[in-house]
Each structure stands twice: as structure tokens, then as C-alpha cells.
Amino acid sequence: MKKAIIISLVTAALVYLLSGCERESSADVTQDRIYVSYEIVYHETTDITYARASFFFGSITGTKLELADPSQVTFNGDPLGFKDALAYYEKQYTGLVETGEFIFTDLDDNSFTNTATISEIGLPETLDTITKGSSYELFFTGDALVSGEGVYAYINGTGEGDGISVYQNTTGATSIVIPATQTDNLTVGTNTVYLRKRHETAAQEASSAGAICAGIYQTVTVDIEVIE
């Protein structure tokens, strides 16, 4: 369980760490070269939605930026606060916020409005048993995947190094097929599984550097049995 949580946090943080620890003020760059990543992330376990905005110079692999006053970013009218450790802007909301509007205003007084939307996903009430070393089809609830969507399944046991993750982004898919080579890594007994679905769209308004919008839904973690 602890390993699954760690994997999830690392995955979520990678996009913000691509450019290393270096950081600049947005006042030091050409405003039209600011790239933005807008995200709303819902964790079903905690029932919290996070609205996040990350700024980079030139592209998502560029230097991370901290906005200089009076530049700002809001979500549904609320200002987002700067999180220094990972250099992004965030506000937390209770419950599921399925959609919302980000507005970013740069130092040249240009304003960009973009909407991000979360697409829900869930696990069935009853899960079939996994046979170790055999392929397994894990069905999920909610709408079939559409273009721009992908879902990860994370399964973890009690042993060391027995966690696996499998990705599905085929349009129309309602399940994830886990190959035998993956289930063979699982520990016999009670394992845990959760899903993380990303719904990504191009930005509606952006600088010449571009922007991206995404909604992410992470399910609760449930037990799943593995047998020989």
C-alpha cells in the first residue's frame, strides 16, 4: 500500500521536476514564451480536488517559473497559491470539482482562459481473482475512453518489488488487459488496486509557447486476490 502511494506521488510530481531545480521569475522571460500546464486532480480516497497550474519557459521541459506581481492565476475565480517545493500553483477544494475555469494573466496584461474537465472512473464492486502468471482483464466503470484519455491500473502486494502498473489509452476501451508477464510479478494473496484516469485537452487560449489542460481522477484503493 505504501509503495502504491509513493509511486502515485512520484508520477504526479515528475511533470514538475523535468527541468530540475532551476527556477526563474516570470519577469525575466518574454511573456509570449510562457508555457502553462493546467490540471484539476481528484483523489476519491480523501475526497479532495486540487486545482493546479505550472509555468515553464518555452515548453514543459523548460525552466520552471514563479509568477511575478501583478501576474496571477485563478481557478473558478479563486487565486491559486504558490507551492514552493514543486514550483506550482494550487488550491484545494472539498468534494469532486468536475470542471473549472483557469484564468492566467501575464505581465503584459494578456489574459488566457482555459477549462479543464475530470472524467470519472471506478472499479466494479466485485473483482475477479487474478491467477498469477496468466493474463487478466480488469474492467472499469464509467464511460469508455475517448481520444485524449488514458488510464493506469496500479496493483501492489505485500512483498518487495511486486508492484505493477499497466496503461490503457485505446479509444473505446472499457478495460485494461494485464499480460501474464506482469501478473507473474504479483504476490499470491491479498493485493491492492486503484485506477488513475487522465482526460487531456488542448488549451483554448495560450501564448505562442502553448498550454495543456487535464483532469485527473484517482479511485479509492481496493483489495484484489491473487492465486497460483
Nearest to 67 by CA among 51, 53, 77: 53
State residue 21's pLDDT score.
53
Higher pLDDT, 8 or 129: 129
| pLDDT at residue 9 tops 60 | no
- DSSP 8-state code for residue 122: B
| Percentage of the residues of the chain whose pLDDT score is greater than 90 | 87
> Alpha carbon of 29 to those of 18, 25, 68, 72, 87: distances in Å?
19, 8, 11, 15, 16
Q: Are 70 and 106 in contact (CB under 8 A)?
A: no
Q: Give this prediction's pTM.
A: 0.87
Neighbours of 160 (CB within 10 A): 8
State residue 22's pLDDT score.
73
Query: What cell was used for 34?
Result: 510562457
Band (34; pLDDT cuts 50, 70, 90): very high
Is the omega angle on the peptide bond into residue 79 within 30 degrees of 0, that is, cis? no
State residue 116's pLDDT score.
98
- DSSP 8-state code for residue 160: T
| Percentage of the residues of the chain whose pLDDT score is greater than 70 | 91
Residues 6+ away with beta carbon under 8 Å from 178:
130, 135, 136, 137, 138, 153, 155, 164, 166
Q: Which helix (H) or strand (E) covers residue 13, if one does?
A: helix 2-17
Q: Do β-strands 136-139 and 130-131 pair in parallel, antiparallel, or remain unpaired?
A: unpaired
- Rounded to whole angstroms, the Cα distance separating 192 from 207 reads 42
Q: Domains in the chain and their CATH numbers?
A: 2-119+202-216 (2.60.40), 130-196+222-227 (2.60.40)
| pLDDT at residue 214 tops 80 | yes
Q: What is the pLDDT of residues 174-206, one digit of tens each?
A: 999 999 999 999 999 999 999 999 999 989 999
Using DSSP, state whether 166 is helix, strand or coil. Answer: strand
